[in-house]
Copies of this chain bind each other. A is one copy, B any other.
Amino acid sequence: MIISVILAHPDKYSFNHAISATVVKTLNQNGHKVNFHDLYEEGFDPVPQAEEIPKHSPLPAELEKHCSEISAANGIIVIHPNWWGQPPAILKGWVDRVIRPGVAYEFLEGDKGEGTPIGLLKAESALVFNTSNTETERENSIFGDPLEKTWRNCIFGLCGVNNFYRKMFNIIVTSSEEHRTLWLEEVRQTVSGYFPKE
């Protein structure tokens, strides 16, 4: 299978980077083709300009590449920290620019954009791995865990990817080496469960 892996964290020594390394290694070992993007590393520009937004606009080559990869993906894995109940801006902008009409969703003929679009992504499954320094109880009761709704319903559900799994690892800032090792083993098992050996 072809799997897109998208990472957004500014620190290359972060646990997010460790998760993404485990994800990519597991996918490779299982015989999948991996399209990996470390958005910080590649300096992805997250700000769409007005002229890029209409459906048939010409796109810069690097954005075309992101779009064609996500269209071709049989699976998608996203890794990012929980910043204000949302992804970091660089990943939010990847969504704004890449998950676009004609690529990831489409409105029915005659619909000017006010209706219910049809999902176009062919990926069977999407996984999201998050890190956080907020206790689970506080995340759920005070903040309502907006990342869950955002990724599951607003983004992947809308684009037709309904086999969705998300895991929030916390508390990162006080976690032990031993705990992180167990978490990476959990990542390995999850990825292998969704994308087993071909």
Contacts and interface: CB of A to CB of B under 8 A. Distances in A.
A150 interface: yes
Interface residues of A, number: 44
A154 B150 contact: no
Interface in A78-126: 83-90, 92-93, 95-96, 99, 112-114, 116
Contacts of A92: 84, 86-89, 92-93
Contact of A149 (B46, B48, B85): B85
- Secondary structure call for the A interface: loop
A47 B46 CA distance: 8
Contacts of A84: 92, 95-96, 99, 150, 154-155
A46 B90 CA distance: 7
Interface stretch (A27-35, A61-69, A138-146, A178-186): A138-146
B96 A88 contact: yes
B50 A89 contact: no
Given A83-B96, A87-B92, 19 more contacts: A10-B48, A10-B53, A84-B99, A86-B92, A86-B154, A88-B93, A88-B96, A89-B89, A89-B93, A89-B96, A90-B93, A92-B92, A112-B174, A113-B133, A114-B135, A114-B174, A142-B153, A143-B153, A146-B150
18 contacts: A10-B48, A11-B50, A11-B53, A12-B50, A84-B150, A84-B154, A86-B86, A86-B92, A86-B150, A87-B92, A88-B92, A89-B90, A89-B96, A113-B173, A114-B133, A114-B134, A142-B153, A144-B153
